[in-house]
Amino acid sequence: MHKAALLLSRKTVYDDGSIVQVRVWSVAAPVPPSEHRYKYSLYYGKDGERIVGYDNEKGKGDHKHIRGREIPVRFETIERLIDQFFTEVAAAREGRL
């Protein structure tokens, strides 16, 4: 059995106490029903509440969480996905989300 290889792990704590944590792994086989070879967990939250999150949980595929709502996400590239996540984090931090 092949292990996942951690490609990116970054955590930022903002002055207001909110946290951004980005973790991306390369996996030997896609996490079904995703078709790409990445496992990822992108999190933005404060005081234990997830405000924006992206992940590809087994059985659910690529999706995001926005203030308690779960929404499917179309995966193009891991770079594009991370860009989308940070765009939504910026919107949340500015009160637009």
pLDDT value for 2: 65
| Total-model pTM | 0.91
Query: 3-state DSSP call for residue 51?
Result: strand
How many distinct structural domains can be found in the chain?
1
pLDDT digit string, tens, across residues 12-48:
999 999 999 999 999 999 999 999 999 999 999 999 9
Quote the domain boundaries for residue 61. Answer: 5-93
Whole-number Å distance between alpha carbons of 30 and 56: 10
**Per DSSP, what are the bridge partners of residue 64?**
54, 71
| Parallel/antiparallel/unpaired status of strands 69-72 and 49-57 | unpaired
